């Protein structure tokens, strides 16, 4: 993959102590099984945050006990996975404060719930924000990102930072998803030598492996939905502006958004309800009052719904097509009308204009972020490039910085007419593709495959896009929402997701459909921690 091939770059974007491991008799057997996920009779792998709230309200355990459980699990399980860059030194203190508040009444479904943040989401204090790069080890954000402020106000415990593809996978071509100089290479918990996909890889791995109750990821094009799909969990990519971008290390403010990655749709709805909201620091945030997405959790939501199917997104991948067929059968069995074999007109042109638009936006937005962020770090993108050259033995030992260099070669001027033409064409094509197919077929949502089975991780060749499957670009470029839900398995082991997407601010409908599909299928299984496949 090279940055001069937009289609292959688009595929890449759709992806950014203590455990003694006994060698199994056969390579495909599991590594030493991680400690169990049950805390005082509640299986945290299967429990929702609402179940955890009930347990804490009844005195079964408290937030401090729950937080200690996850910290212990990170210490024992994460050496297999490299999903966590750092834990929060203040996590237990935050949990104890939550327990004291609970005596007066919990503030909501996230009271006392431990949350892992992708390490491009800003936090003030001891917990660093590095985007996976050694260049930001001295960075000291002056305040928490707005979404972190919202989490704290809801009583959540900030457990730590999740590993990611360095700079959200926008530095080099090729690259290995899930690798950063700070966190190393993250591993898929289902099969450890397989890739976790996308830049929110650590967040998705941590959710799948029960290293936190819930996690937060970010997406520019696919970096929530692909890792969620590949790691067998739920991911919500919200409407652009529903969640503030303030305090998040950017790629492009025209497409960037944060969103929940969780083991179930209930938790995703609870998290999204908390982190959304109007932020004076981000003029794109959507007014209109708080939204409680838990109200959208309706198990009969598929009855009477009209769902279109973007089947060609699967290409010729037989396992992905079989999973899509099974999803369609579930929709029909639950009373949905399915309009199959739909096409999204104009999407074949989007990659050609999205790529150069992002190049200009990255230089502009990264320079602005670095200029306003205190601490010791390079002043701009040019400084980041020079930093990497000076620290090539660690930063560039596997991959280069071609995307950095190509972005630096642009004007970085958002008023540049050529840039504006690229962005306007990309956004208008993507919005028209979704709006037209929804309106013409009177759809509630479009269903598409999220991903193919995870490929073998390689720090020499980078990500393997053979038979690559993705459907993130229409939602990513339009700024419209999407939710991925577990849909099946490749080779009976590697998770495959299905995505529901629709028009602007259609989150309530997508969450309702995703929840009804999840409840009908009960597809998700816990990770297997196999070393490799036979």
**Residues acting as catalytic residues:** 118, 199, 223
Strands 138-139 and 234-237: unpaired
CA-CA distance, 55 to 270, in Å (whole number)? Answer: 17
CA-CA distance, 247 to 141, in Å (whole number)? Answer: 8
413 vs 150, 253, 341, 362, CA distance in Å?
32, 14, 40, 10
Q: Which residue has the tokens 């929840």?
A: 515
CA-CA distance, 160 to 513, in Å (whole number)? Answer: 31
**CA nearest neighbour of 143 among 157, 132, 130, 127:** 127
CA-CA distance, 56 to 190, in Å (whole number)? Answer: 30
CA-CA distance, 61 to 74, in Å (whole number)? Answer: 19
Partnered with residue 194 across adjacent β-strands are: 456
Q: Are 491 and 454 contacting, i.e. CB atoms less than 8 angstroms apart?
A: no
206 vs 49, 71, 73, CA distance in Å?
15, 12, 10
Q: How far is CA 449 from the centre of its chain?
A: 16
Strands 494-501 and 445-449: antiparallel
Per DSSP, 398 falls in state: S
Q: Are 483 and 499 contacting, i.e. CB atoms less than 8 angstroms apart?
A: yes
CA-CA distance, 273 to 290, in Å (whole number)? Answer: 7
Residues in the chain: 534
325 vs 24, 321, 338, 472, CA distance in Å?
36, 6, 11, 19
CA-CA distance, 379 to 372, in Å (whole number)? Answer: 10
Sign of CA dihedral 159, 140, 410, 398: negative
Sign of CA dihedral 431, 434, 440, 444: negative
CA-CA distance, 432 to 378, in Å (whole number)? Answer: 40
Peptide bond into 148 cis (omega under 30): no
């Amino acid at each position: 993959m090279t940055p001069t091939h937009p289609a292959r770059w688009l595929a890449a974007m759709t992806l950014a102590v203590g455990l003694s491991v006994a060698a199994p008799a056969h390579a495909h057997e599991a590594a030493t099984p991680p400690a169990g996920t049950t805390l005082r009779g509640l299986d945290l792998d299967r429990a929702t945050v609402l179940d955890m709230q009930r347990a804490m309200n009844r005195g079964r355990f408290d937030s401090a006990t729950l937080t200690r459980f996850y910290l212990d699990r990170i210490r024992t399980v994460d050496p297999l996975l490299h999903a966590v860059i750092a834990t929060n030194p203040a996590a237990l203190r935050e949990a104890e404060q939550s327990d004291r508040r609970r005596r007066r009444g919990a503030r909501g479904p996230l009271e006392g719930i431990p949350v892992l943040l992708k390490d491009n989401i800003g936090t003030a204090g001891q917990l660093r924000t590095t985007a996976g790069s050694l260049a930001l080890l001295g960075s000291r954000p002056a305040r928490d990102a707005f979404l972190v402020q919202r989490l704290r106000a809801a009583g959540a415990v900030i457990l730590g930072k999740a590993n990611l593809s360095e700079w959200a996978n926008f530095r080099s071509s090729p690259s290995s998803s899930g690798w950063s100089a700070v966190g190393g290479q993250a591993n898929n918990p289902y099969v450890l030598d397989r890739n976790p996909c996308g830049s929110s890889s650590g967040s998705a791995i941590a959710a799948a492996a029960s290293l936190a109750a819930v996690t937060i990821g970010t997406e520019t094009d696919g970096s929530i939905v692909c890792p969620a799909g590949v790691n067998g969990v739920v991911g919500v990519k919200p409407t652009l502006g529903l969640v503030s971008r303030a305090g998040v290390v950017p790629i492009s403010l025209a497409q960037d958004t944060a969103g929940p990655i969780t083991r179930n749709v209930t938790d995703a709805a609870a998290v999204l309800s908390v982190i959304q909201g109007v932020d004076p620091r981000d003029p794109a945030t959507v007014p209109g009052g708080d939204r409680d997405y838990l109200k959208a959790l309706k198990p009969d939501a598929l009855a009477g719904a009209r769902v279109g199917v973007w089947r060609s997104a699967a290409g010729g991948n037989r396992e992905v097509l079989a999973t899509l067929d099974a999803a369609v059968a579930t929709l029909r069995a639950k009373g949905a009308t399915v309009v199959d074999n739909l096409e999204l007109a104009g999407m074949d042109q989007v990659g050609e204009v999205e790529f150069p638009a992002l190049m200009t936006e990255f230089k502009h937005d990264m320079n602005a972020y670095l200029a306003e962020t205190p601490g010791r770090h390079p002043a701009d993108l040019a400084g980041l490039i020079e930093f990497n050259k000076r620290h090539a033995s660690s930063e560039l030992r596997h991959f280069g910085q071609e995307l950095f260099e190509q972005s630096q070669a642009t004007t970085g001027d958002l008023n540049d007419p050529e840039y504006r033409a690229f962005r306007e064409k990309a956004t208008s094509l993507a919005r028209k593709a979704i709006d037209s197919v929804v309106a013409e077929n009177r759809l509630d949502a479009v269903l598409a495959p999220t991903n193919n089975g995870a490929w073998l991780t390689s720090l020499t060749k980078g990500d393997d896009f053979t038979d690559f499957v993705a459907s993130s670009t229409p939602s990513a470029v339009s700024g419209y929402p999407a939710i991925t839900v577990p849909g099946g398995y490749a080779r009976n082991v590697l998770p495959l997701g299905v995505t529901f997407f629709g028009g602007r601010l259609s989150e309530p409908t997508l969450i309702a459909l995703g929840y009804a599909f999840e409840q009908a299928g009960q597809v998700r299984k816990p990770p297997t921690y196999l070393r490799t496949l036979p």
